[in-house]
Amino acid sequence: MNNKLTLGIFGFGVVGQGLHDIIKTKNLNLAIKRFVIKHPEKKRTLPAELFTTDANAVLDDPEINTVVELIDDAEAAFDIVSSALRSGKNVVSANKKMIATHLADLIAIQQEYGTSLLYEGAVCGSIPIIRNLEEYYDNELLHAVTGIFNGSSNYILSKIFNENLAYATALKQAQDLGFAETDPTLDVGGYDPKFKLAIVASHAYGLYIAPEAILNIGIDKLSASDIQFAKEKNFKIKLVPTAREINDKSVILYVLPKLIPRDNILYGVENEYNGVLVKAAFADEQFFYGKGAGGHPTGSAVLSDIAALRYGYKYEYKKHIDANGLAYSTDWEIEVYLRYKEESFIEHLKFTSISERYYAQDFKYIIGKVNLSNILKNRDIIDREGYFLAEIA
């Protein structure tokens, strides 16, 4: 049954405006009643009576049956979303930090109050990876879900490797285009893809993993020496989150820059595009490709969730019901490239094998195998000292 939806939307930024642009071109059984905004002094492209700064104007309105949350404050977003779900309103959100941090609580609220929270737009923009994990792979044994989850960092890296732009210049371009925020730490520091990875792990493996327990190293410490090394070896660098089942009983999760060779499918994913590679026991390998940044790509994912609510769609979280005893682990070896300064740091990481080392006055690197747990323990030192660490594909 196609139920009519009356929407109350929190936020009218890049995604909110992109969503409105798409909705006004469609003849859908829905209506936007009110936008809740933070800055009433800003000039808007819509009539002033559509806007309010009062959250309760939406949350307490019995005519509004669907809340769309598109703000950038994770804790405020949780208050909005949880209140809406408890009041009997269904919710669509694109707030990956909020969802990753509070997913267990949000699922419990949905079950208690019989409401639905959908969040396809929170992970990989226009790529419908959550819906596919829920529906297509619901009975599959997934060996791995990995790829490029952040369009902002991928845009920066594409400009560096394809156009020889300096990191700062590429970052400024990404900011000017609205792909990266004024403070780009969430994107280039690997936090944004980490939140997305935590959400993916929940739908792929039935695990609730706190984001702070997941290793993330970004591209913000990338140097000209690292770029030269990658180019000389015919690699590109991509920021890659990885969820992988190991030993038939554990799942590892981490976000690292990755040195990608030409024959890897991620090598050709450029600019603001995302690419998700799913490796399954029976379906084998499948690849999802689409824009991962920008108001219209993310807005299209949000609209897809809104449209699904017209027919009563809910996530069933089947993998949580049958999690097969899987547990989160950081006990796994990977091969890495590390550009460093102090020799003593090599001892801290406890390399189990070393295949290559290079010494110069202003450039030292080592390639070898190291345990994820040791990288996680030394994450703060890597960041503080400006070292750059990347996985070897």
116, 306 contact by CB (below 8 A): no
What's at 149, amino acid-wise?
F
pLDDT recorded at residue 140 = 83
CA-angle at 14, arms to 5 and 190, nearest 5°? 110
User: Strand 388-392 relative to strand 333-340: parallel, antiparallel, unpaired?
Assistant: antiparallel
Residue ranges in the chain modelled with pLDDT below 50: none
Q: Which helix (H) or strand (E) holds 303?
A: helix 295-309
3-class DSSP state for residue 17?
Answer: helix
* Distance in angstroms (rounded) separating the CA atoms of residues 190 and 188: 5
Per-residue pLDDT tens over the stretch 100-150: 999 999 999 999 999 999 999 999 988 999 999 999 998 888 999 999 999
Which domains are present in the chain?
5-127+296-317 (3.40.50.720), 131-292+325-392 (3.30.360.10)
pLDDT recorded at residue 260 = 98
Report residue 29 as tokens.
Answer: 């059984």
pLDDT recorded at residue 219 = 98
pLDDT recorded at residue 14 = 84
Report residue 146 as tokens.
Answer: 């990995």
pLDDT recorded at residue 325 = 77
What's at 132, amino acid-wise?
N
The DSSP 8-state label assigned to residue 182 in this structure reads S
* Distance in angstroms (rounded) separating the CA atoms of residues 32 and 11: 13
Assess whether 4 carries a catalytic annotation: no
* Distance in angstroms (rounded) separating the CA atoms of residues 167 and 85: 42
pLDDT recorded at residue 51 = 95
Catalytic residue (choose from 96, 159, 196, 291): 196
* Distance in angstroms (rounded) separating the CA atoms of residues 315 and 313: 7
Of 191, 15, 219, 215, which is closest to residue 100 (Cα–Cα)? 191
- CB burial of residue 164 (10 Å; 0-12, 13-18, 19+): exposed
The tokens 């490797």 sit on which residue? 161
pLDDT recorded at residue 323 = 60
